[in-house]
Amino acid sequence: MFGKPGYGREDVEVLERRLVYQGFFRLFICRVRHRLFAGGWSRPLARELFARPRAVGVLPYDPAADRVALVEQFRIGALERPAGPWLLELVAGLAGPGESDEEVARRELAEEAGLAVERLVPIAELYLSPGGSDERIALYCGIGRLSGDGTVHGLAGEGEDIRLHLVSREAALAALDAGQCDNAPLTIALQWLALHHREIVEGRR
């Protein structure tokens, strides 16, 4: 079957997994070896693993108005971005202990955008940067009426300063085509919406 890996979890040996930093996130030094496609085993490999909780992202979409909600906020990872470190993104957040994806999605919609949606449609679940991080994100399209363009949200205690933007689906896709949506979850969610918006409007998703 297309995309099925040749090996599984049993074909990796974890020789060491040592915690070297514990803060909001965790960093491990791992020593592993794995089977080789040509046969036999690899030599022991040292790898850094950046460990993050599971994340959930939501692209709010209003079928009646044919527009989406995006949030804008400062991101330290984009500090050297020529256009500046404020990014347009999905509503998103990390899961707390015992939280379901839907609970995270609805909590973050309220905290980051002051929004509530009628339903959540699954888009995808994927690794963000598996070369060095174990973080997975579940993406959803949140269907509902959208309002509050230009309003500011976020939790002051977490240093959040988040501005809500309501833009037409057409404008969002034009920005995507122009390379202005330069983060992976937003790109994936908008591409999904481009493929499936008719099904949403017709109630087939």
Share of the chain above pLDDT 70, in %: 98
d(CA 48, CA 190) in angstroms, rounded, equals 32
What DSSP element (H or E) covers 110? helix 101-113
What is the average pLDDT across 45-70?
97
Classify 137 as helix, strand or coil.
Answer: strand
Using the 8-state DSSP alphabet, how is residue 133 labeled? B
Q: Which domains does the chain have, with CATH numbers?
A: 9-51 (no CATH), 55-201 (3.90.79.10)
Average pLDDT, the chain: 95
d(CA 8, CA 4) in angstroms, rounded, equals 10
Phi and psi at residue 41, in whole multiples of 5°?
-125, 155
Tell me the whole-structure pTM to 2 decimals. Answer: 0.93
Measured over the CA atoms of residue 104, residue 60, residue 191 and residue 179, the dihedral's sign is negative
**Active-site residues: which are they?**
158
The predicted-structure confidence for 143-171, as pLDDT tens digits, reads as follows 999 999 999 999 999 899 999 999 999 99
Burial 35-48 (b: 16+ CB within 10 A, else e): beeeeeeeeeeeee
**Total Cβ atoms within 10 A of residue 196:** 16
Q: Is the pLDDT of residue 2 over 90?
A: no
